[in-house]
Structure formats: structure tokens, C-alpha cells
A = this chain, B = another copy of it.
Amino acid sequence: MSISERKQRDKIEMENLILNSAMELFLKEGYDNVTIRKIAEKIEYSPTTIYLYFKDKDEIFFTLQKMAFKEFNKEQLKTAEIKDPIERFFAHGKTYIKFAVENPGYYDLMFIMNEPVRNLKSPEEWQDGMSSYDYLKQNIKELMEIKYLPETDIEVAAFSIWSLVHGIASLVIRRRMFFPEEYRNQLIDGALMYLFSSLSNKN
């Protein structure tokens, strides 16, 4: 049995070699910079070898997306340590934006790019991404219980809050923020604060 086990290991190792090279190229210069031939050159195999491990280029990006989600989820869930739900809520939002701004490639892969989505046949395959969303819903529920947020449909509230942070993140990443450089970060933080604060029951 050990021999087929080793083969299994080798296969996974090769897959990772391909994925890591692809990710490196992608993060360095974006989607167009990832060509099968460049990956091949990097790993010192012929281009066609890659097709023995991945059906096509889209499948590579689909897998890179999953990797990005792993990173992302890990980062998001760090805020779970925070006891106070209100403080946790704000930290969650800040962490989200911070991740997006500091890892624009990952964020693009997860929430903006078309390529990895084509490969995605059913919502179940997006499960990697659902973990953070469930975490958000859980937090919202808690904030409604302590009356910090008004009682509303949780699905609506969760989607709203996701939209709100995603809006900020994707305007930054796709370079639609034409504000003076030094003002930009201030504006991002300001918007996050403004929006998150608005949501609470004021009295």
C-alpha cells in the first residue's frame, strides 16, 4: 500500500507546486500574467504536464480561490476572541476591509473576478466562503438579542452588511476611488465607521 500512498503524496506535491507558482504569478502581476507556459517554466516542467493535474486554467483559478478563502476565513475568525459583541462587530468590519486592502489579489479572486466562478456549478462548492458569512450572521443575532441592532430579518441584515463592506473593498481594489492618495485611507475608515454606527438602535 505504501507505494500508492507515495504516489498520492507526489501528486499532491505537484499540484501544490503548480498552485503556488500560479498564485505567485497572479499576486505579482494579476490574472493576465498567469499563463500556462509561465507556470511551466517556473516549475521546470513542460506546459502540457500541467494539464495532467488540472483540467484547464479555470480549474487552477477555482482552486486558488479556495486557497484564498481559507486565508480569509482564518483571518476573519480571529475576531471571535473578542468578548464584547459590539466591539467584536466593529473589529470584524475592520478586519474585513484590512484583509481586502492588504491582500487585493486574494479579495479579487474571492469576490470580484469572473474566472473562478465559471467553474462553480453549485452553491455547495462555495462552502469555503460560507463559513465567514455564518459567523457574521451569528454575530448579528447576538447584537439583536442585546438590542444593539434593531430586530430584522437576519438574512437581510447579513446581506446588507456584507454589501456595505464589499462595496468599500471593491471600489478600492478596482481603482474607482479617485481621491488624493493621503485622503484615501481616512475616507475608507470614515465610511466604515459611519455606516457601522448608523446601523445601531439610536436612542
Which residues on A are within 8 Å of B, measured CB to CB?
A: 30, 111-114, 117, 123, 126, 152-153, 155-157, 159-160, 162-168, 170-171, 174-179, 187, 190-191, 194-195, 198-199, 201-203
Contact = CB atoms under 8 A, between A and B. Distances in A.
A13 B153 CA distance: 53
Contacts of A113: 174
A165 B174 CA distance: 16
Nearest to A200: B198
Given A191-B156, A194-B152, A117 B174 contact: yes
Given A111-B174, A112-B174, A117-B174, 15 more contacts: A112-B170, A113-B174, A126-B178, A155-B179, A155-B190, A156-B191, A156-B194, A157-B194, A160-B194, A163-B167, A163-B171, A165-B167, A166-B170, A195-B195, A202-B202
Nearest to A180: B123
A117 to B, nearest CB: 5
9 contacts: A111-B171, A123-B178, A126-B178, A160-B194, A163-B195, A164-B164, A166-B171, A198-B199, A202-B203
Contacts of A199: 198
Nearest to A202: B202
